């Protein structure tokens, strides 16, 4: 199956700083990438959908100025959590799909802890 | 609109006994259905998917699921549980074969007892 990677896998930061998470599709062209967050013992919640070369579409209740998404190439999308606060601590998972790809391939996730 | 309900938040079985994880769905169109597994602090792994072909779908690690339109169900089964099957399982629905809008169930935590 297709491979999607995320970097970093773990990040700890101080409150007020910004954190960037990368999501890469390693063996296919990801025309669309998705960003999810998962709180402990809960399901995945879609945050935003990004199409390569265009602005991301955010789900209701997700602040676009706080969670900046860039999808500048067919293999890379980034999520930047700006001015992070402890309540942003969560597991962030990306997924990717492409032309002719009938499923989403998920990355291994990034655990963010904001102190 | 689409939705998915996982009927059990926790299931506990003994090693070597059958596994049944229940899932019911609601979809306006012909749905695609998926089961994903998530081990602690790991990403999601696709177990199997249904996309309007055979109603009995075989997946990895001995899992299978049957699509029953009349019951709007897509239950996940395995004849004999292994300790390594202990994980969180998510049932997921997507409309019309599209990978673009997935709706996740709330998850079922499977515990396998020795």
> pLDDT by residue (tens digit) across B7-40?
999 999 999 999 999 999 998 777 889 999 998 8
Residue among B3, B35, B1 at smallest CA distance from B20: B35
Rounded CA-CA distance A6/A23 in Å is: 5
pLDDT tens by residue, B41-92: 778 889 999 987 788 999 999 999 999 999 999 999 999 999 999 999 999 9
Residue B64, token pair as written in the block: 């299978």
> For residue B51, which residues of chain A lie inside 8 Å, CB to CB?
102
Q: At residue B97, does pLDDT exceed 70?
A: no
From the centroid of its chain, how far is CA B50? 10
Chain B interface test: which of A10, A11, A89, A103 (most B C-beta within 10 Å): A103
Q: How far is C-alpha B4 from the geometric centre of its chain's CA atoms?
A: 10
Distance CA A74, CA A96 (A): 10
pLDDT(A1) > 70: no
Give the mean pLDDT of A30-40. 91
Smallest CA–CA distance, residue A113 to chain B, in Å, is 13
Taking contacts as CB-CB distances below 8 angstroms, the residues of chain A near B43 are: 6, 93, 106-109
A41 pLDDT higher than 60: yes
């Amino acid at each position: 199956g297709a491979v999607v990677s995320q970097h970093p896998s773990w990040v700890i930061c101080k409150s007020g700083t910004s954190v960037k998470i990368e999501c890469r599709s390693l063996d296919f062209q990801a025309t669309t990438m998705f960003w999810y967050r998962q709180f402990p013992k809960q399901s995945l919640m879609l945050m935003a959908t990004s199409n390569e070369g265009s602005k991301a579409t955010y789900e209701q209740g997700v602040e676009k100025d706080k969670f900046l998404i860039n999808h500048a190439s067919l293999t890379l999308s980034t999520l930047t959590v700006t001015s992070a606060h402890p309540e942003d601590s969560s597991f962030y998972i990306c997924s990717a799909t492409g032309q002719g790809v009938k499923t989403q391939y998920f990355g291994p996730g990034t655990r963010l802890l904001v102190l | 609109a689409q939705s998915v309900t996982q009927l059990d938040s926790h299931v506990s079985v003994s090693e070597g006994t059958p596994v049944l994880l229940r899932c019911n769905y609601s979809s306006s169109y012909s749905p695609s259905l998926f089961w994903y597994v998530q081990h602690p602090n790991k990403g999601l792994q696709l177990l199997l998917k249904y996309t309007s072909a055979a109603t009995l779908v075989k997946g990895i690690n001995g899992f299978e699921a049957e699509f029953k339109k009349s019951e709007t169900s897509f239950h996940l089964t395995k004849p004999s549980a292994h300790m390594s099957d202990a994980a969180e399982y998510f049932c997921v629905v997507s409309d019309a074969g599209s990978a673009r809008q997935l709706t996740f169930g709330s998850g079922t935590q499977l515990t396998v007892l020795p």
